[in-house]
């Protein structure tokens, strides 16, 4: 190659580089690489107990917020729960309808390609209505709304990218009087529950 040809090639190289098509930076990353999917909705059924015990139902909505690091995902979870609980001792029978509204932070960690574990910390409200049958004096009832907390752990099995099945163990301290005066059940409660269910990603 002579000097003129070399100089011409050197001058044309930047122009060729600038003219070459470049990948668009405005294109979104594939969903599998984003680390933060969309809103998930789910339902759960299980058993709840302390002094009272019985059937527990719960509806959850989970919204991932951000990937804290390559292993830990932070989500916000809103829960609405209902439990029908009973208590029977020495001929005294009590029944309780318990409603819970609990927002919580959830930290999720993958442990296998299709398996995650998570932990929840939340603060919410619990409304309890209680009726107590005390023979031969009759039935007394009352209700109260109290502050509560939630500490939970659980795990997920991902059936497919949209559906996951899970189980969780929750500890729910309810502060104040579970149900107040007038014959109600007057003390704090710390319920624990085990729940099974599924979440679906919208």
Number of domains into which the chain is organized: 1
Domain assignment present for 7: no
pLDDT score recorded for residue 142: 86
Full domain range(s) for residue 93: 39-201
Domain assignment present for 34: no
Domain assignment present for 155: yes
Q: How far apart are CA 45 and CA 63, in angstroms?
A: 21
pLDDT digits (tens, 9 = 90+) for 34-68: 445 789 999 999 999 998 899 999 999 999 999 99
Domain assignment present for 33: no
Domain assignment present for 84: yes
Tokens for 71, please give them: 């292993």
Q: How far apart are CA 1 and CA 147, in angstroms?
A: 85
Q: Using the structure block, give the residue that is written with the tokens 């209902």.
A: 82
Domain assignment present for 173: yes
Can you give the pTM of this predicted structure? Answer: 0.77
Q: Are 97 and 81 in contact (CB under 8 A)?
A: no
pLDDT digits (tens, 9 = 90+) for 85-116: 998 888 888 899 999 999 999 999 999 999 99
Domain assignment present for 19: no
Q: How far apart are CA 36 and CA 64, in angstroms?
A: 6
Domain assignment present for 144: yes
pLDDT digits (tens, 9 = 90+) for 118-167: 999 999 999 999 888 888 888 888 888 999 999 999 999 999 999 999 99
CATH number at residue 103: 2.40.160.20
Alpha helices in 20-146 (DSSP H): 31-34
Q: How far apart are CA 177 and CA 185, in angstroms?
A: 8
What lies within 8 Å, CB to CB, of 73 at 6+ separation is: 35, 36, 64, 66, 67, 107, 108, 109
């Amino acid at each position: 190659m002579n000097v003129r040809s070399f100089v011409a090639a050197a001058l044309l190289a930047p122009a060729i580089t600038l003219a070459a098509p470049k990948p668009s930076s405005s294109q979104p990353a594939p969903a599998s690489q984003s680390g933060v999917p969309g809103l998930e909705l789910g339902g759960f059924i299980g058993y709840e107990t302390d002094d009272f015990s019985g059937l527990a139902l719960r509806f959850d909505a989970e919204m991932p917020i951000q990937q804290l690091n390559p292993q830990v995902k932070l989500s916000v979870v809103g829960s609405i729960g209902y439990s029908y609980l009973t208590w029977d001792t020495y001929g005294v029978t009590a029944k309780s309808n318990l409603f819970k509204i609990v927002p919580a932070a959830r930290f999720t960690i993958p442990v296998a390609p299709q398996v995650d574990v998570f932990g929840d910390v939340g603060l919410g409200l619990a409304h309890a209505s209680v009726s107590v049958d005390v023979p031969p004096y009759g039935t007394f009832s009352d209700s109260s709304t109290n502050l509560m907390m939630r500490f939970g752990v659980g795990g997920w099995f991902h059936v497919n990218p949209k559906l996951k099945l899970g189980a969780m163990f929750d500890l729910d301290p309810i502060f104040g009087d579970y149900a107040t005066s007038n014959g109600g059940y007057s003390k704090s409660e710390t319920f624990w529950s085990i729940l099974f269910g599924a979440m679906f990603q919208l």
